[in-house]
A and B are shown apart, each in its own frame.
Chain A
Amino acid sequence: MGFLLEKCTFKPYNQEILDSCEPFDCGNSDLNGFFSKDVIKYTSELLGKSYCFTLDENPKVIVCAFTISNDSIKVQTLPNSRKKKVTKRIPREKETRSYPSVLIGRLGVNKNFGRLGVGSDLMDFIKSWFVHPGNKTGCRFIVVDSYNTPKPLLYYTNNGFEPLFSTEEQEKEAMNLPLDKPLKTRLLYFDLILLKIEEQEE
């Protein structure tokens, strides 16, 4: 996280940033549109919070930006086999377990800072934030809805994310999407339980 620590400053992505900074350009028109038009409305409706890193030598430059919100992964399971035998004449009760998660709704790196490891540094920062002892709520997973194209998928898998669904067909079925249409985005997750941190004072 050398570049982000030494050359940048972390800030909330708010109206002041929109007014004072050059338009954010990560090379993706959808993300650029969000960070130039929708971001303030999204924040004001409490649907997510957005943050960015600006360049210290020119604070008008947004190096990277992201939006996060609370979410959860819900898993429906059937009772174990022993219980199944006991209750085989009774319709099996489904149990749903919910795991607290943070959803990265948007994440982009300024296209002029693409080869400095900023993307991985940013992901390490987000992971660190949610395993920090000062984090006020429990959070087990980071989830992202990635564009279903090689570059972003490679970025997330290189940073330890795994697809929530093994196949695109499985994901389309779960989302009630037509099987013959392409899947625009894919859900991936990272399990924060894997990370070891030294105990620190909050």
Chain B
Amino acid sequence: MATAIKNIPVLKKEAASTFNEKIEKNIANRASVDFSKKVSISNKILAKAKS
């Protein structure tokens, strides 16, 4: 049997505040990485899979 996949524990105390700070920054940088081309390629991969 392969190694069990770990559950994600609830983030508390320092881990919670660090995480909250990081995701607040990410909200400020929302949509800063243009992923349109990659989504377009991904659509083509999915279309090829259906054909």
Main secondary structure of the interface of B (DSSP, over half): helix
Task: Using CB atoms, name the residue of chain A closest to B50.
Answer: A10
Contact B8 A9 (CB under 8 A): no
Also in contact, A103 and B5, with CB within 8 A (given A75-B16, A76-B11): yes
Interface residues on B, range: 35 or more
Of the residues A33, A75, A174, A184, contact of B20 by C-beta under 8 Å: A75
Chain A residues in 8 Å Cβ range of B49: 9-11
> Which A residues are in CB contact (< 8 Å) with B27?
193
Whether B15 pairs with A198 at a CB distance below 8 angstroms is no
Say which residue of B15, B33, B38 sits within 8 Å of A170 (CB atoms).
B15
Q: Inside 8 A of B8's CB, which chain A residues have their CB?
A: 71-74, 101, 103, 143, 164, 187
Residues of the B chain whose Cβ atoms lie less than 8 Å from the Cβ of A125: 38, 41-42, 45
A-B residue pairs in contact (CB < 8 Å), sample of 17:
A31-B2, A33-B2, A34-B2, A74-B11, A76-B16, A77-B16, A96-B10, A106-B2, A127-B35, A127-B38, A128-B43, A160-B33, A174-B9, A193-B31, A197-B39, A198-B36, A200-B43
